Amino acid sequence: MKSFLGCVAFVLAQAPLTAQDHVARDRHEMHRLHQDPKAYIAMLEDPKRDAYQKPHEVLTALKLKRGEVIADIGAGSGYFTFRLARHIGDKGRVYAVDISPEMIVHLNRRIRDFKLKNVVTILAAPDDPLLPEASINRFIICDTWHHVENRTHYLGLLRKMLKRGGEVVMIDFKKEKTPVGPPLEMRIDRGDLVREMEANGFRLAAEQTFLPYQYFLVFKLK
Ligand SMILES: C[S@@+](CC[C@H](N)C(=O)[O-])C[C@H]1O[C@@H](n2cnc3c(N)ncnc32)[C@H](O)[C@@H]1O
């Protein structure tokens, strides 16, 4: 529930261009979203998001290889999951990992409707993505890390789940005022994230700076 509320806050903060002026509208929106996860999914999938999320540029920067195995942690509606799946081909696999049963049902429906063979959903635990050891080439964690509790423990699991040479891609909102994104107090500062990763066996291997509101960091094992 905590993470769903966090996501609601993310969505609400995502809509300031329409809602920044009215607290009452925010409350109304929050109530509606509490009652209706589909509305939340629709907002995550809002085509207007592409303008700042730049999914095509993100996927190009990742230089995905056909056949690789990716885990999209906090897959949500599948905004990145399904784009990733198109790039890695039928021999690859995307694990769409989420703790929200509503998101998993939504993802499963899309997988069935689009007859996808390379996407597998995982209804995970908040402190464990429940993936096999040494199975993942790349973790993609977009707008989700700030929801994860006990992150030291979680990073220990990610280390075990990575294949040799694998990486963890973190995309999240800069801790500064931006027109979209979660409340500042929920955000993780870029420097703090780098320090957290370094303290847990990772090193910053690459960084992309083309996203206007988010940092985009790539970590590998030390
Ligand atoms: C803001 S949404 C981001 C969704 C997606 N990554 C995107 O960029 O559109 C965060 C998602 O993370 C999920 N989530 C929160 N805590 C999680 C955890 N500990 N493990 C896996 N998923 C989590 C939520 O249920 C939600 O679907």
Task: Transcribe 21-88 into DSSP letters.
Answer: T-HHHHHHHHHHHHH-HHHHHHHHT-GGGHHHH-HHHHHHHHT--TT-EEEEET-TTTTTHHHHHHHH
User: In this predicted model, which residue has the larger pLDDT, 78 or 3?
Assistant: 78
Ligand 1, atom nearest to 7 Cα: 1
CA 98 to centroid of ligand 1, rounded, Å: 6
User: What distance in angstroms lies between residue 75's CA and the mean position of ligand 1's atoms?
Assistant: 6
Q: Which of 7-11, 80-84, 126-130, 215-219 has the lowest mean pLDDT?
A: 7-11
pLDDT tier at 28, thresholds 50, 70, 90 = low
Query: Who's near 7: CB < 8 A, 6+ residues apart?
Result: 40, 76, 100, 147
Cα distances from 52 to residues 8, 177, 215, in angstroms, run 19, 15, 12
pLDDT at 33 > cutoff 70: no
Ligand 1 nearest-atom number relative to CA 45: 9
What pLDDT, on the 0 to 100 scale, is given for residue 181?
85
Tokens of 136: 């993942």
- Cα of 138 vs centre of ligand 1, distance in Å, is 17
Binned at pLDDT 50, 70 and 90, residue 30 comes out as very low
**Domain coordinates in residue numbering, the chain:** 2-47, 48-221
Ligand 1 geometric centre to CA of 97 (Å): 8
| pLDDT number for residue 68 | 97
**What distance in angstroms lies between residue 6's CA and the mean position of ligand 1's atoms?**
9
Under 8 Å between Cβ of 30 and 12: yes
Among 36-45, 51-60, 67-76, 156-165, the minimum mean pLDDT is found in 36-45
- pLDDT tens-digit map of 153-196: 999 999 999 999 999 999 999 999 999 888 898 999 999 999 99
pTM beyond cutoff 0.85: yes
Does the domain at 48-221 match CATH 3.40.50.150? Answer given as yes
Ligand 1 binding residues, C-beta < 6 A = 3, 7, 10, 44, 73-76, 79-80, 97-100, 103, 124, 126, 142-144, 147-148
Identity of the residue numbered 96: A
pLDDT on residue 32:
56
Q: By percentage, how much of the chain surpasses pLDDT 70?
A: 84
